[in-house]
Amino acid sequence: MSQFVIFVNGPAYGSQHAHSALRFAEAVLAGGHQVRQVFFYQEGVHNASRLLCPASDELAIAPRWQALHDQGVELVSCVSAGLRRGIVDVEAAEDSDLDSANLAPAFVLGGLGEYVTASSDADRTVQFG
């Protein structure tokens, strides 16, 4: 059984990167392997927003990330990239005097150090975006 870390730079919509990363993670799990972490960086942090509202004929990516999380996959959104792009949890919203948070429940905020630690313990790291 191999262990993977997946690094996502692409936004939820507007490019294929996030969807490809999601499908890859699902295939890894279906193949009996483990996804230690999916780390969202740069524009990829937009995947962590609980406010995603795609049109009815578009892929609803948020429930698929949630399903991955429900299978034990850690979803980490870069805190620094998120702050610059308006993706915040309750604590970050309070620290920045914002009136609300928008981090989806399946995600946690973290730094690049968490990605590096997960990658060092994984057999493979795959980047999308």
User: Catalytic pick from 21, 38, 62, 78?
Assistant: 78
Residues with Cβ within 8 Å of residue 80, at least 6 apart in sequence: 111
Determine if residue 14 is left, alpha or beta; phi over 0 gives left, psi from -120 to 50 gives alpha, anything else beta. Answer: left
Residue 53 appears among annotated catalytic residues: no
Distance CA 6, CA 84 (A): 22
Query: Active-site residue numbers?
Result: 78
